[in-house]
Structure 1
């Protein structure tokens, strides 16, 4: 569950950075650094959701690019940590 929380936050934050970069300077260095980070976080969200004994709705939400991890977290029961 902790991995999913971290990956969901990184996924959303990296998408925000990519969009801000696209709307402003469009620096290739930023896109080259943050793009693979975003992709890795996206795949981590999907994998972490499948490893958690969660229902199908949470797994379906996890595959939505950009905000899927946050949506999946909302669908999962509260963690007793």
Structure 2
């Protein structure tokens, strides 16, 4: 009743490596980044979404492009996007 998206600010810090490996091992699928980000942005005023993991790993290296498409702005270091 008194909920206001503009007043519900949020930031997300995601252990993407754990999420990715869990989805792969249990469901044989990849995380649905577009839908997850859309749901988060639909409910909150998202200030920042950051993903971390070992993106130098072969399996996760291809995920960097998917992450960048789904969550901007993105800061890249050795293990954080």
TM-score of the pair, normalised by structure 2: 0.28
**Which structure shows the higher helix fraction?**
1
TM-score of the pair, normalised by structure 1: 0.28
